[in-house]
Structure 1
């Protein structure tokens, strides 16, 4: 499951980086003193300009002022592991950012009380044999202002160029390239690479993932070493065969969902709709039109052009992530094979009166239904209000239908699917058909099978396979997507499908425990971070679940999931392990380095003569690794 997300528009929305300095004392009074001193020192830069920490003193919420650094974490700690640990201490973190090999993390809280509680409770605690250290962390500096200050300071001092950065000549050459080339390099870095070579590189990436997984399985489950040795000998140090990558039927104009930011153009044009040349955290706000990008369909480009014309006729400026002023933030466009187009307009109301907002929505409606914008073909127009500290693409923002239909519809594998504004649907429909056909082939289903579709979105995978099985059970967090999935099952005449809305880690164990079918197969298509550890533990405990197809849009991020599926049984990880038996990559994102990786896992049958029986007498720690006396 993957989306091309718009760059975060606020300094605090971007991923945390190591602070420039941090307090060394975990005592709360000292922490308060450090914050007060930093605030005093950060009011202005040396030249009197606005501080790089200006945003923390605006009348706005930011968790950056309530941030701590937790050091000496157990190796390979996952996001969900750390969140669960903190929750057990009565803490409710706002954001967690793991650094390096997950041995330390930055954690922010919503208020000073929660932050101080973390300093008191976690510092000095032992977790999985590691003594934790907690200290106050400095807020992240505003990337734009920090970059500007450094450049001005370096120029004034006649400093030598940073050898880690492009030379002035090279940078100048890059900036002299046409904007169309620069934006293509930013959003589709492989656009000048022949497609065959793109596939070869992605195949190599998949091979590297499986070689890494081989090493990790060997470290976490020694009972599998004899099997693993054979697999590595046959498969070039990989833990299972890697089949040839499946190409995308379309290499250009394939994206059915595109998110465009609104800001000052790199050419100086105000209220430009398109893509950023770089990320905000890299110090860039310049926006370039998508007109010459190869992965965006012509239909979406027409909507962008029409919308840009409209907002330039209004008195409302684009929202500025640097000053927090302005209104227009983002345009999301969804297209389909059925020639339906959805447009979602993200607008910050600031302090505009309600009647002015109503007038604006009426103007939008008239423009796209009767005015110049009618030719863009928009059939579903939504208005989304955003806030200061809200990322423009956040899925919990309510959408208000302004004109047209509530949904758009798509056709995939001969089936029809309804899509709501916030529902997940693979962004490359043709390649999604290749992906789902592969999943269906590998799952080995029959009319007695029960299929668990975890992170099911609008139900595409489960619905495409429903006629082969006895029952499909889907689990999805987004209520809009669940509503769509139910409507899609009904529209396709299916009666053997049911859906549950909520967090997979909360619902999945209950669903599994209620199943009596001896023939259960799971298909998981999680977000980039992978499945919650609770889901993996529930899968391991469900011995009647013999087969699992894992669709990973970021296999490296899902590595902890793969390892936990395969690691040796322990007090924490109960049930026989799985092992990977088949893998392939499916290219859903031509012109970029991203692709989907599909792995088939099968439960190890220790009763079979071919399997290595584990040494159950060996004492293990909570991770399944042998204890050292």
Structure 2
């Protein structure tokens, strides 16, 4: 999905991935490591390479490492980490470093005189040669230095000892201590204090001048954040999205030509037929519902812009940008009235309690987030996230009892909540909220939704498209494109609650679903039963582990593979497995962020190599479906076909196989501790496009 919205606006953080709220450990870069490059204003960060799962901001990395295009570093970007910090001053920009809370920032080093063009895999492998296990790595494009953090003083000191003077590609490395990352809020306040009142007045005057002497109302400010196209006619929104999709196709066209010369004759013909594109773009299908369409919203709980305590809503900016103010969601156009009613009731409730809001600046307080899920059946699920701090079990139990009573017998009953959960979220050991324990407080355990005449059960953490009516349009396109029959086998990768596969099940021989989230898999199995389907089976695990295994036991002569991955795209191992499985001839790729998944597209089409075996695919057609009105985001579907097919027939074992042997896989994310105490971009709730 295109990113034409303001630089500080990240719908993928506001709403984990175009509806892909599930964790995306299956979408990590090549080669075999879980390394995460994040492009942030001139720097490439790998947030945690200790094995944890990642979500929103990942980018699928190509099978062949490419040079980053990130440039224009400023002194402020890198200078703050170049010197030893004085962390003893608790009022300083480093006061987040506290005893008892882990942050690898206190074990950071700067490695200098590195080769200019290196990737994460190279750095990690180089460090591994010396027995070093980094916690985080931060590289800068075309720069010869990097920052590396470790989990302990021992790890840091060992790195200082063994790397200083070490040689890499004929370069002698030097290593020095680096100071921790500054707390953005305190850093902003310190800068403002240094600028003085005169600078503040000048800034305020400029703001007023740009708005005819009036300060913009909060309703407009928050609308610009969560729905940046709210004041643009819908037809024009669709035109902009089509233009962005065309840009994606243009880039893919160039990349295919540069990476698979054998496809050039075909590519030239396609460009003639499709206006310079590698395949036809069949437009952008509109969302049947353009307002109040979100069935899942995540609200932050914080202090309002005018210091209103315990406010439920959306943040005006990011913690990284020095903004913590939360604005109520009642004037937004993409949130249903029933959801706003729940947010208001919950705000009233927490204001009646003695517990304050959690502060990402001081790490004090309790209330953190409210997630609301709704269905067209009138079901409403509310999930409250609460930092227990030092409360004992009795106090937490009393709070849950109070909450249950308020929403089942008290004033909150009018909100219509049918399912209520409570989540204790302290210092997380995993970056995925799905790994936190859910405590059922009141009502039903699930909500149910109808889609294309089928019934689906939805658990608190399970993935389901956030715009139900537009999802019906999306799935109808998939049904039309698949052209399945009673002999077809469908492999549904990243299947969530099974909605795509189940929508096709009555027309095909068999559906095989693959999903990482155990909760979603349980829902998918129940959904198959609810719809009286016996030709559907679901497997829980990482797609990169399951796909190579399953293709050995499936007759894929008449098959189609559908992938609907999280924002980052598929793990490169999955692409390799699909390429090797020559009987997979057709593939539909549903991309909620096509730019992030671009390397997946390219890896499907690149020329065969020692690493990428099997004939390449080529794009046949593409179409976009607008699931996120008033944002620059949409789902982009690609239909890929295999260029040539092997004459090999499936083995007798495959032909005669009726059951897939059980494969025991690790399905949960890593439990390695992360930098829970590091000042970072606060997880912004599910507030916009995705």
How high is the TM-score relative to the length of structure 1? 0.84
Cα deviation digits, residues 394-430 of structure 1 (max 9, x gap):
2211110000111100111110000001101110000
Instruction: Say whether 1:340 aligns with 2:376.
Output: no
Cα deviation digits, residues 84-133 of structure 1 (max 9, x gap):
9988987665556676699997665433455567775797556xx99999
Where do residues 110-125 of structure 1 align in structure 2 (5 Å cutoff)?
110-114=151-155, 125=168
Stretches of structure 2 that go unaligned for 5 or more consecutive residues are 2-9, 17-37, 44-74, 648-690
CA distance in 1, matches of 2:379, 2:276: 47
Report the counterpart of residue 355 of structure 2 in structure 1: 316
Maintained 8 Å contact 1:22/1:137: no
CA distance in 2, matches of 1:189, 1:299: 23
Q: 1:545 aligns with which of 584, 588, 592?
A: 584
Report the counterpart of residue 53 of structure 1 in structure 2: 94
Where do residues 53-452 of structure 1 align in structure 2 (5 Å cutoff)?
53-67=94-108, 94=135, 108-114=149-155, 125=168, 138-155=179-196, 167-170=206-209, 176-389=215-428, 394-452=433-491
Residue 560 of structure 2: SS of its match in structure 1? strand
Report the counterpart of residue 624 of structure 1 in structure 2: none
Structure 1 residue 174: Cα displacement:
9.2
Structure 1 residue 235: Cα displacement:
1.8
Residue 437 of structure 1: SS of its match in structure 2? helix
Maintained 8 Å contact 1:60/1:389: no
Residue 395 of structure 1: SS of its match in structure 2? helix
Structure 1 residue 56: Cα displacement:
2.3
CA distance in 1, matches of 2:171, 2:547: 31
Report the counterpart of residue 572 of structure 1 in structure 2: 611
CA distance in 2, matches of 1:133, 1:225: 46
Q: Which of 410-419 and 95-104 deviates more?
A: 95-104
CA distance in 2, matches of 1:461, 1:130: 52
Report the counterpart of residue 626 of structure 1 in structure 2: none
Structure 1 residue 59: Cα displacement:
3.0
Maintained 8 Å contact 1:73/1:130: no
Instruction: Say whether 1:39 aligns with 2:85.
Output: yes
Residue 250 of structure 1: SS of its match in structure 2? coil
CA distance in 1, matches of 2:286, 2:275: 23
CA distance in 2, matches of 1:216, 1:316: 54
Residue 422 of structure 2: SS of its match in structure 1? strand
CA distance in 2, matches of 1:202, 1:493: 38
Structure 1 residue 388: Cα displacement:
3.4
Q: 1:484 aligns with which of 499, 523, 534?
A: 523
Structure 1 residue 63: Cα displacement:
2.9
CA distance in 2, matches of 1:544, 1:132: 49
Structure 1 residue 64: Cα displacement:
3.0
Structure 1 residue 453: Cα displacement:
0.7
Counterparts in 2 of 1:493 and 1:607: CA distance versus 1, 3 Å: closer
Counterparts in 2 of 1:238 and 1:61: CA distance versus 1, 3 Å: same
Counterparts in 2 of 1:371 and 1:86: CA distance versus 1, 3 Å: farther
Maintained 8 Å contact 1:450/1:521: yes
Maintained 8 Å contact 1:266/1:286: yes
Maintained 8 Å contact 1:318/1:329: yes
Maintained 8 Å contact 2:562/2:588: yes
Report the counterpart of residue 463 of structure 1 in structure 2: 502
Structure 1 residue 260: Cα displacement:
0.2
Report the counterpart of residue 517 of structure 1 in structure 2: 556
Counterparts in 2 of 1:601 and 1:192: CA distance versus 1, 3 Å: same
Counterparts in 2 of 1:587 and 1:23: CA distance versus 1, 3 Å: closer
CA distance in 1, matches of 2:124, 2:444: 40
CA distance in 2, matches of 1:23, 1:103: 14
Maintained 8 Å contact 2:315/2:326: yes
Maintained 8 Å contact 1:578/1:602: yes
Where do residues 541-620 of structure 1 align in structure 2 (5 Å cutoff)?
541-605=580-644
Cα deviation digits, residues 476-502 of structure 1 (max 9, x gap):
111000100011011111111111111
Stretches of structure 1 that go unaligned for 5 or more consecutive residues are 9-13, 25-33, 609-629
CA distance in 1, matches of 2:325, 2:614: 53
Residue 155 of structure 1: SS of its match in structure 2? helix
CA distance in 2, matches of 1:592, 1:130: 47
CA distance in 2, matches of 1:598, 1:606: 23
CA distance in 2, matches of 1:132, 1:524: 43
Residue 500 of structure 1: SS of its match in structure 2? strand
CA distance in 2, matches of 1:107, 1:175: 46
Cα deviation digits, residues 343-388 of structure 1 (max 9, x gap):
0000000001110110000000000000000000000000000013
CA distance in 1, matches of 2:213, 2:107: 39
Counterparts in 2 of 1:173 and 1:23: CA distance versus 1, 3 Å: closer
Counterparts in 2 of 1:336 and 1:241: CA distance versus 1, 3 Å: same
Maintained 8 Å contact 1:432/1:588: yes
Maintained 8 Å contact 1:64/1:139: yes
Q: Which of 586-595 and 129-138 deviates more?
A: 129-138
Cα deviation digits, residues 411-455 of structure 1 (max 9, x gap):
111100000011011100001111111112112322111111111
Counterparts in 2 of 1:385 and 1:606: CA distance versus 1, 3 Å: closer
CA distance in 2, matches of 1:131, 1:229: 47
Q: Which has the higher contact order (CA 8 A, sep 6+)?
A: 2
Counterparts in 2 of 1:160 and 1:299: CA distance versus 1, 3 Å: closer
Maintained 8 Å contact 1:80/1:533: no
CA distance in 1, matches of 2:593, 2:291: 22
Cα deviation digits, residues 124-144 of structure 1 (max 9, x gap):
556xx9999988654321111
CA distance in 2, matches of 1:103, 1:606: 45
Residue 282 of structure 1: SS of its match in structure 2? coil
